[in-house]
Amino acid sequence: MRIIAGRHRGRRLAAPAGEATRPTADRVRQALFDMLWHAPWGGRDAVADRRVLDAFAGTGALGLEALSRGAAHATFLETARPALAALRANIAACREEANATVLPADATRPPRAPLPCDLVFLDPPYAEGLLPKAVAALAEAGWIAPAALLVAESAAAAPPPALPPSFTALAERLHGPARLSVVRAP
């Protein structure tokens, strides 16, 4: 697993052993960022100089990819100790400590946000139905800025995640076992 593009292009990322952490595959991240940059509702401004939240961060691949492509700051929420160790090592390897905040917190019960985020990545364990609960909790805690883009990864074999009706669906793509859903916050 590596950073796909930007100033950290090619940087290898550490991942904890075992199946507990499921990093977003390189090709899926590439497809996601291509979609963000080239869609009529996206563009480079969707990432550049934005505040990013990587909920259920795992290795931090999504947030670090955004930092590599010019995001201003990334906050990572993760609870698993092995994933936190890999996440911190990956941030250090990319020398992004000044632009990253790691919170050992649950995205379904997050702390209050210091500032809202413009781009939110949600990649929870597939079979646990955590997406709707996380979106509601993150919105309540102030993590989601008005008109923020939310990118949710879920299982391609499952129905699309049920997100609040006030969110506007922008795109949905299937990539192997993953479904990427992009919505805009109200």
CATH of the domain at 129: 3.40.50.150
2 part of a folded domain: no
Place of tokens 């100033």: 7
User: Sign of the C-alpha dihedral, residues 166, 29, 79, 91?
Assistant: negative
pLDDT by residue, tens only, the chain of 186 residues: 899 999 999 999 998 875 656 667 788 899 999 999 999 999 999 999 999 999 999 999 999 999 999 999 999 999 999 999 999 999 999 999 999 999 999 999 999 999 999 999 999 988 778 999 999 999 999 999 999 999 999 999 988 888 888 999 999 999 988 899 999 999
Q: The whole model's pTM is what?
A: 0.94
Which residue range(s) make up the domain with 33?
26-184
